[in-house]
A and B are shown apart, each in its own frame.
Chain A
Amino acid sequence: DQQVKQNSPSLSVQEGRISILNCDYTNSMFDYFLWYKKYPAEGPTFLISISSIKDKNEDGRFTVFLNKSAKHLSLHIVPSQPGDSAVYFCAASANAGNMLTFGGGTRLMVKP
């Protein structure tokens, strides 16, 4: 039973446009959510996080939105750059723990 799902395995966006990556979860105990970016042969790199007490968090070009009632979060990248091309994972944890449950990832391709 996948508790964190990323239903789009891939996404292609033109440089300069907005990239929107989506993530759904089922476990109501999740209270902290993170996005990671991963290049081949490297470990995931932390991008941005959000606590369940918030519905939005921004960091530069990256904004994460959390809709608790829908159990849905999204990552917006504006403007998208070719260097953003990578696999993006959303992850969730419960009760302030460090045990992360990951989604299956979305491969983002930003075309010049």
Chain B
Amino acid sequence: KAGVTQTPRYLIKTRGQQVTLSCSPISGHRSVSWYQQTPGQGLQFLFEYFSETQRNKGNFPGRFSGRQFSNSRSEMNVSTLELGDSALYLCASSLQGANNEQFFGPGTRLTVL
């Protein structure tokens, strides 16, 4: 079974631009979560989507948004990029239901100049 895939793997943007990251979950997984990893803040939860609906949201500004499609693929968007948005963005998928392990993709390394 193929793992979680994320595209692109690396991205360089400048301040003020916007960016869209993509995530394809493991086949059959309906929950997709996004995390941001930075040296200062560690791994932080952004949001979770399940059946095309946002089910949970972390403590991030409205510039961070996402969506999920009917095939469970998900995208996250960051508008008006700031230098502090430079991070590794990780996507994780899991089966529906309680206490399921989340399986992570390799991440997208975003650098904002």
Contact indicator A49/B43 (Cβ below 8 Å): no
Contact indicator B48/A44 (Cβ below 8 Å): no
Question: Using a Cβ–Cβ cut-off of 8 Å, how many residues does chain B contribute to the interface with A?
Answer: 28
Contact indicator A102/B56 (Cβ below 8 Å): no
Closest chain B residue to A43 by CB distance?
B104
* Contacts A/B (CB < 8 Å), 18 sampled: A34-B101, A42-B106, A43-B4, A43-B92, A44-B104, A49-B99, A49-B101, A89-B43, A93-B99, A96-B98, A97-B56, A98-B94, A98-B100, A100-B45, A101-B45, A102-B35, A102-B43, A105-B42
A36, chain B: closest CB distance, angstroms = 8
Contact indicator B99/A96 (Cβ below 8 Å): yes
- Residue in B42, B90, B101, B105 whose CB lies within 8 Å of A104: B42
Contact indicator A99/B33 (Cβ below 8 Å): yes
**B residues bordering A, Cβ < 8 Å?**
4, 31, 33, 35, 42-45, 48, 50, 55-56, 58, 90, 92, 94, 97-107, 109
| Bound complex: CA A46 to CA B95 (Å) | 14
Is A51 at the interface (CB under 8 A from chain B)? Answer: yes
